[in-house]
Structure 1
Amino acid sequence: MRWTPALERPDLLAEPVAAALRALPAEDAAAVLVAEIDPDVADTAALVASSDVTLEESANCVLVGGRRDGEQRVAAALVRGTDRADVNGLVKRALDVRKASFLAREDAVSASGMEFGAITPVGLPDGWRVLVDGAVAGLPRAVVGSGVRRSKLALPGALLARLPGAEVHDGLGRPA
């Protein structure tokens, strides 16, 4: 994979992702790289099998929601590729809802402005919580979606933990 500064290749980014990167402090934006990939290998297992990206440095972002007092509460959960988000435990408690579930595909795509299978915590709507597993926050390099299936982002886990709405939660990821 050929990694280049993400802001030099806005054609490889969903518009909300590009806008979020432009809004970052210059030193943070410079730390975000993008690589073009075959959309057929956008899923974590396929990417790991076809590139030098490891499962341990891959990070998956899922959108989860639940209702409380008639209010829809939505969050992104970011865990390592080796793990699954603890939706029925930690995520449910963090959202303070009775039941948490993955957003429907159509809802996830329309609300995020990103392609399904490429949703990333970078550039999510204002006010959304981003629950980051402590293991992801500690990665020197985390590989995440770019908002489009034809590329991936690489950035320090610590930067993911500083994104707008980000909250670090140890134990968010459970071994798959």
Structure 2
Amino acid sequence: MRSPLGTFDDAAPASDRLADLPAPVADAVRDWRGDVPVEQLLYVDTEPEWADTATFVEHYGAELLATSANCVVVAGKRGGETTLAACVVPSAARADVNGAVRRRLGARKASFAPVDTVIGLTGMEHGGITPIGLPADWPVLVDSAVADLPYVLIGSGRRRGKLIVPGKALAELPGAVVVDALA
């Protein structure tokens, strides 16, 4: 199958590659309920040592930067309570953690969540976090620029492999909210 992004030779429906995904991501794909057909969620095999954005676009093509998104997990704190939330922003931008994200979470303070916490709670690998398959009680804040993309390249839950999905599929995830100027 030809990939709608980049020059990946081995694009396949993610539902056909469940063994390549960590359990929570595979479960989310298996149980997909969005308006976007599950067949439009694609998996492409990529080298794990090239998972980070700058290295990825260096090896797979600079044009992918415009259609890639990163998923970062933020911890918002208020009154002794901590809320974890995923933020999906264009790879060429940074999440506005202390502005838009903090306000959206109603937090006094917001910062990137500790890596060990994120890995432990998601079952995903650092450098491959994806909004698909996150804990159901986490808000998923999706930058409107990402939601508007016909297709977006995101992590697969592992450093090896990426998912290519319609931007609107991310807006349909459980707990998802599209936010203008999240980055």
- Normalised by the shorter chain, which TM-score bucket? over 0.9
Identity %: 47
Q: CA deviation at 1:69?
A: 2.4
Equivalent positions of 1:57-96 (< 5 A) are 57-96=67-106
Match of 1:137 among 135, 142, 147: 147
**Which residue identity lines up with residue 46 of structure 2 in the other structure?**
I
Aligned to 2:3: none
Structure 1 residue 157 and structure 2 residue 164: aligned? no
Structure 1 residue 7 and structure 2 residue 15: aligned? yes
Contact 2:41 2:165 in 1 (8 A): yes
Equivalent positions of 1:8-23 (< 5 A) are 8-23=16-31
Q: Which runs of 4+ in 1 moved over 2 A?
A: 25-28
Unaligned runs of 5+ in 2: 1-7
Structure 1 residue 100 and structure 2 residue 107: aligned? no
Number of equivalenced pairs: 173
Match of 2:41 among 32, 40, 43: 32
Unaligned runs of 5+ in 1: none
Contact 1:38 1:150 in 2 (8 A): yes
Contact 2:48 2:161 in 1 (8 A): yes
Structure 2 distance, partners of 1:165, 1:28, is 19
Contact 2:78 2:109 in 1 (8 A): no
Return 128-137 or 63-72, whichever deviates more.
63-72
Contact 2:74 2:113 in 1 (8 A): yes
Q: CA deviation at 1:28?
A: 2.6
Structure 1 residue 110 and structure 2 residue 120: aligned? yes
Higher strand share: 1
Q: CA deviation at 1:9?
A: 0.9
Q: CA deviation at 1:7?
A: 1.1
SS at match of 2:66: coil
Contact 2:88 2:143 in 1 (8 A): yes
Aligned to 1:124: 134
Structure 1 residue 148 and structure 2 residue 165: aligned? no
Contact 1:74 1:95 in 2 (8 A): no
Match of 1:51 among 54, 60, 83: 60
Structure 1 distance, partners of 2:100, 2:106, is 10
Structure 2 distance, partners of 1:25, 1:112, is 20
**Which residue identity lines up with residue 119 of structure 1 in the other structure?**
I
Return 21-30 or 121-130, whichever deviates more.
21-30
SS at match of 1:72: strand
Return 125-134 or 66-75, whichever deviates more.
66-75
Q: CA deviation at 1:16?
A: 0.4
